Amino acid sequence: MSTSQLFLLDSNVLMTAARHYYAFDIAPGFWSALDRKAGDGELRSIDRVYAEINRGNDELVSWVNHIFADYFFTTETPEVIQKYTEIIFWSQKQDGYSSAVKQDFARYDHADPWLVAYAFVNECAVVTLESANQATKKKIPIPIICDAFDVPWTNTFDMLRRKQIRLG
């Protein structure tokens, strides 16, 4: 994965950062760096992540709507919809996950399969805080999906290093 790789941010990257270790009052440089790198075309997210974040009512919602709103790609393209459909079919065939987990994964408003579908079609890397732990059975983790479809993925801290983002 090169430094020129376009990174797509998962909801949990923004939500966890805002509510914990990179809270707006503690690490404003993190948020400025995301905005700057998005403006440079190095990182973005998708409309489904935007919708997930907007279900909240906190400072992140305000930041996303006032600072980052232009950096969400639409998933409503034939290619992305086709890949999304393939990912949903794949998920339904996976052993070890309950019907409830598979139903939750297949919800049309669930961003995870859309994020991987968009990344696949547009040759992006996914940034998530989820791990590729095969033992996780409460949800289908994004890294498991990425691995199944040959989509590169990483975590927030690796993304910061690869994009040469320094926070102080």
CATH number of the CATH domain containing 34: 3.40.50.1010
User: Does residue 167 fall inside a structural domain?
Assistant: no
Instruction: Give the total number of structural domains in the chain.
Output: 1
User: Does residue 1 fall inside a structural domain?
Assistant: no
User: Does residue 2 fall inside a structural domain?
Assistant: no
Percentage of residues in the chain with pLDDT exceeding 70? 96
User: Does residue 55 fall inside a structural domain?
Assistant: yes
User: Does residue 120 fall inside a structural domain?
Assistant: yes
Instruction: Report the pLDDT averaged over residues 31-51.
Output: 97
- pTM for this prediction: 0.94
**N- to C-terminal Cα distance for the chain?**
25
User: Does residue 108 fall inside a structural domain?
Assistant: yes
In 3D space, the residue among 64, 46, 68 whose CA is nearest the CA of residue 55 turns out to be: 64
User: Does residue 24 fall inside a structural domain?
Assistant: yes
CA distances from 61 to 45, 67, 116 (A): 14, 10, 23
Q: Over 80: is that where the pLDDT of 2 sits? A: no
User: Does residue 157 fall inside a structural domain?
Assistant: yes
Give the tens place of pLDDT for each residue, 45-96: 999 999 999 999 999 999 999 999 999 999 999 999 999 999 999 999 998 8
In terms of residue numbers, what domain contains 16?
A: 7-162
